[in-house]
Structure 1
Amino acid sequence: MEGRDRLLLGLQYVLGRIAIVITAPLCFLFVRLMGYRIRDIRRIRSEVKRMYRAYDGPWIVCPNHLTMIDSLVVSYGMLSLADHILHFRRILWNLPERKNFQRNPFLALLCYLVKCLPVDRGGSREELQRLLEKCGRVLDWEQSLLVFPEGGRSRTARINQENFSYGVGRFLDEKSGCRVMLVYLRGDGQERYGTMPRFGERFTMTAEVFDPGVVDAGGLRRQREYARRIIERLAGMEGEYFAGRW
């Protein structure tokens, strides 16, 4: 990773840390104004806090993906407002698609300050490599990274076990000290993917530590197998969600 990129990434973290007293309340206010609620949120936050206390190193958090603000709702469910402000290091770095926010200067600034590393889909190999190096640097700082293992919003509104990204497998392959946390989040009215959850949506959220185990293969095969195991368990969590509804 080039020195300039390291410097800019460090600057982004410092500015985000300073601005969190403004950005976190803004994000929480948005969630409240939209009427979003998460069942048993205190219990979930307590469980997540217990996970962080059990392992203070880097985490890769892998949720399912249905809307463009899933990462915001996941962060809201994992950490209280006080924890966002007092424990900025625990806030997840995110990988949103640049075109989803770059046209709005306010939104672009907000994403920058809340630890977003933009993704340019269809970009050059050099741009992708720079992004991967930034993600690796974040994990070297023993901070946490949110990665959607499906690679994008599910068009079927269910976990797709056939077509998924290998990205999370690459991080696990290259960063052996990472722990994995799986998160399944779904609103009562979410029957299909979309841009935003409906107003007043009530969510069910579950989080668990996942051990991907040992993979004997190497290279891309190992990365794919790590990703497959994560997707398989997320699909299992989805099955448990629907089984609990009926």
Structure 2
Amino acid sequence: MALFDAVRWTTRGLIAGTCRPTVVGLENVPTDGPFIVAPNHLSFFDSVIVQALMPRPVAFFAKAEYFTTGGVKGKIMKSFFESVGSIPVERGEQAASVQALKTLLDILEAGKGIGIYPEGTRSRDGILYRGRTGVGWLALTTGAPVVPVGMIGTENLQPAGEKGFKPHHFTMKVGEPLYFEKTGPDHSLPARREVTDKIMDAIAALSGQERSTSYNQSKSIE
């Protein structure tokens, strides 16, 4: 836990010092019990930012490649993602996706926080895409409150076609938690869709993005 806190605080300091972000609504994060953070997704760095700036730890999915890449860079990435509680998952594989959701379920049942991008993968054109229903499944199965988050300007931290990190101001807006009746795993797809759509409405209100009724076409977790 000491390493986790050290990494999180160090990353928070680096973000604050280089980007001077505007962060509002942290008081909306529940002080105890399970919770689900649901942000829009514009940048590779979104998970890092949320994990560093939230008042409580948040576990996110992370591509398995971040844990298996070779060389010095690979070791640094693996050490970081392990230390902040990220969960490796093979993107685009249905069995892995189901297992990943079960892993998030275990974390919630332990009274902790998890993060999931309803869009499934980052938007490369700035549009907010239709939410995939994994977040609705988690909310209905556990009854954990969903905290919507609007990320604004994080795409500038790594502009399209560029590598590395480019310091730039961004805004993170944390909305009021959304509560849904706990039904357990026995609920319908229409129920998951309804919950997911309400979560996406809340994210849109925070981010101010143009919306699409289509899914982002990149392979992602449903």
Task: Please indicate, yes or no, whether the TM-score normalized by the shorter chain is above 0.5.
Answer: yes
2:11 maps to: 27
Cα deviation code 1:40-84 (max 9, x no counterpart): x4xx3xx4246423xx211101111011110111233333xxxxx
Q: Does 1:72 align with 2:39?
A: no
Percent identity for Structure 1 against Structure 2: 22
Q: Is the 8 A contact 2:59 2:86 kept in 1?
A: yes
Cα deviation code 1:153-182 (max 9, x no counterpart): 013212123xx3211011012112x01111
Q: 2:92 aligns with which of 122, 126, 129?
A: 122
Q: 1:122 to 1:24 in 2, by over 3 A?
A: same
Q: 1:158 to 1:101 in 2, by over 3 A?
A: farther
1:155 maps to: 124
Counterpart amino acid of residue 131 in structure 1: A
Q: 1:190 to 1:51 in 2, by over 3 A?
A: same
CA distance in 1, matches of 2:125, 2:182: 29
Q: Does 1:18 align with 2:19?
A: no
CA distance in 2, matches of 1:76, 1:180: 19
Secondary structure of the structure 2 residue equivalent to 1:52: coil
Q: Does 1:36 align with 2:19?
A: yes
Give the 5 Å matches for 1:1-246.
17-28=1-12, 30-31=14-15, 35-39=18-22, 41=23, 44=24, 47-49=25-27, 51-53=29-31, 56-79=32-55, 90-103=56-69, 104-123=74-93, 125=95, 127-161=96-130, 164-176=131-143, 178-187=144-153, 190=156, 194=160, 199-211=166-178, 213=180, 218-239=187-208
Comparing 230-239 with 145-154, which one deviates more in the overlay? Answer: 230-239
Q: Is the 8 A contact 1:97 1:121 kept in 2?
A: yes
Q: 1:113 to 1:236 in 2, by over 3 A?
A: same
CA distance in 1, matches of 2:84, 2:157: 29
1:210, distance to aligned residue in structure 2 (A): 3.7
Counterpart amino acid of residue 60 in structure 1: I
CA distance in 2, matches of 1:221, 1:169: 10
CA distance in 1, matches of 2:153, 2:21: 9
What runs of 5+ residues in structure 2 fail to find an aligned partner? Answer: 211-222
CA distance in 2, matches of 1:167, 1:238: 21
Q: 1:189 to 1:152 in 2, by over 3 A?
A: closer
Secondary structure of the structure 2 residue equivalent to 1:94: strand
What runs of 5+ residues in structure 1 fail to find an aligned partner? Answer: 1-16, 80-89, 242-246
Comparing 178-187 with 211-220, which one deviates more in the overlay? Answer: 211-220
Structure ID, larger Rg? 1
Secondary structure of the structure 2 residue equivalent to 1:168: helix
CA distance in 1, matches of 2:7, 2:175: 27
TM-score by length of 1: 0.70
Q: 1:170 to 1:97 in 2, by over 3 A?
A: same
CA distance in 1, matches of 2:94, 2:155: 38
